[in-house]
């Protein structure tokens, strides 16, 4: 972070993206480069993947580029929409903040309806099967309850130097996920970036947790446990620079074809 929102690097990358958004001074543009190492352990074996990302941020817009998979996400607060770009297929999709809010509500309603249907179906099952289904349903309900609450955020008081900047350690836990973040307030001053929450699918309990993290994240370790699978993604910022960024970086590539949102997932 998994909870799948849009594409491969969605959940984990959204956490990094949001933190960058919430720590950018309005009078400066931000350029950053990151390297991510994703380790996964399953009953079938272990895998490790390394990816590279870069991004640009202005006060009302952001572009995140996955250089490994050649995917990009552009958030335009001025237009209240988001574009997802696939450079491999030369396509893009568009979704407004209002549509994301509606989708989030629909997903919650669909989950509740599914639980009701399962409860009715269990009434006709033999006792042994019903007991197994009840256990699975209880686990699903516990997961839903956990994700409906804001995560627990702890500022540990520990400090470290990364890229020459003093960083504070934050720990956050939410459902079956944990974050270990090293965040610096020396790079940019603190400002209120609550406006970036509006309309985004990440708005809600998880976003409330990220709002407590003050500064620019230079290192983040995210771990997830689910159904016998353990994943750990370490994202390290390798370069941070404040400079003037052209508005052209936040526009759609010319000649790309629009496809329905979610089609490429």
Cβ atoms 206, 219 nearer than 8 A? no
What local confidence, expressed as pLDDT, does residue 204 receive? Answer: 63
Q: Return d(Cα 137, Cα 119) in angstroms, integer.
A: 8
Cβ atoms 68, 34 nearer than 8 A? no
Cβ-based neighbour number of residue 176 at 10 Å:
16
Positive/negative CA dihedral, 256, 262, 264, 265:
positive
What local confidence, expressed as pLDDT, does residue 15 receive? Answer: 54
Complete domains list, the chain, with CATH: 10-100+148-156+168-258 (2.50.20.10)
Q: Return d(Cα 182, Cα 206) in angstroms, integer.
A: 18
User: What is residue 112's three-state secondary structure?
Assistant: helix
What local confidence, expressed as pLDDT, does residue 53 receive? Answer: 96
What local confidence, expressed as pLDDT, does residue 210 receive? Answer: 77
Contacts of residue 187, Cβ cutoff 8 Å, sequence gap at least 6: 23, 165, 215, 216, 240, 242
What local confidence, expressed as pLDDT, does residue 232 receive? Answer: 96
What local confidence, expressed as pLDDT, does residue 77 receive? Answer: 85
Per-residue model confidence as pLDDT tens for the chain (265 residues): 333 444 444 555 555 555 555 444 445 788 899 999 999 998 889 999 999 999 888 878 888 899 999 999 998 988 989 899 999 999 999 988 888 777 767 766 776 677 677 767 777 778 777 777 767 666 666 666 666 777 888 999 999 999 988 999 999 998 888 999 998 888 765 434 445 544 444 556 777 777 788 777 899 999 998 878 899 999 999 998 888 899 999 999 999 999 998 765 5
């Amino acid at each position: 972070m998994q909870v799948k929102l849009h594409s491969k690097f969605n959940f984990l990358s959204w956490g990094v993206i949001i933190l960058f958004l919430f720590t950018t001074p309005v009078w400066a543009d931000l350029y950053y480069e990151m390297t991510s190492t994703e380790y996964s352990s399953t009953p079938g074996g272990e895998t490790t993947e390394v990816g590279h990302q870069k991004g640009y941020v202005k006060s009302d817009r952001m572009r995140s580029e996955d250089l490994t998979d050649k995917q990009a996400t552009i958030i335009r607060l001025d237009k209240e929409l988001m574009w997802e770009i696939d450079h491999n297929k030369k396509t893009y999709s568009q979704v407004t903040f209002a549509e994301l809010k509606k989708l989030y509500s629909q997903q919650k309603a669909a989950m509740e309806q599914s639980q009701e249907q399962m409860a009715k179906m269990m009434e006709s099952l033999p006792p042994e099967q019903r007991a197994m289904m009840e256990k699975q349903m209880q686990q699903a309900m516990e997961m839903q309850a956990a994700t409906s609450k804001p995560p627990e955020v702890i500022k540990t008081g520990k400090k470290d130097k990364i890229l020459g900047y003093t960083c504070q350690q934050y720990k956050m836990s939410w459902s079956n996920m944990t974050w270990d973040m090293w965040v610096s307030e020396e790079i940019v001053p603190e400002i209120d970036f609550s406006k970036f929450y509006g309309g985004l699918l990440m708005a809600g309990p998880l976003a409330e947790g990220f709002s407590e993290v003050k500064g620019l994240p230079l290192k983040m370790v995210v771990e997830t446990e689910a159904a016998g699978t353990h994943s750990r993604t370490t994202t390290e910022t390798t370069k941070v620079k404040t400079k003037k960024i052209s508005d052209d970086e936040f526009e759609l590539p010319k000649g790309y074809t629009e496809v329905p949102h979610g089609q490429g997932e």
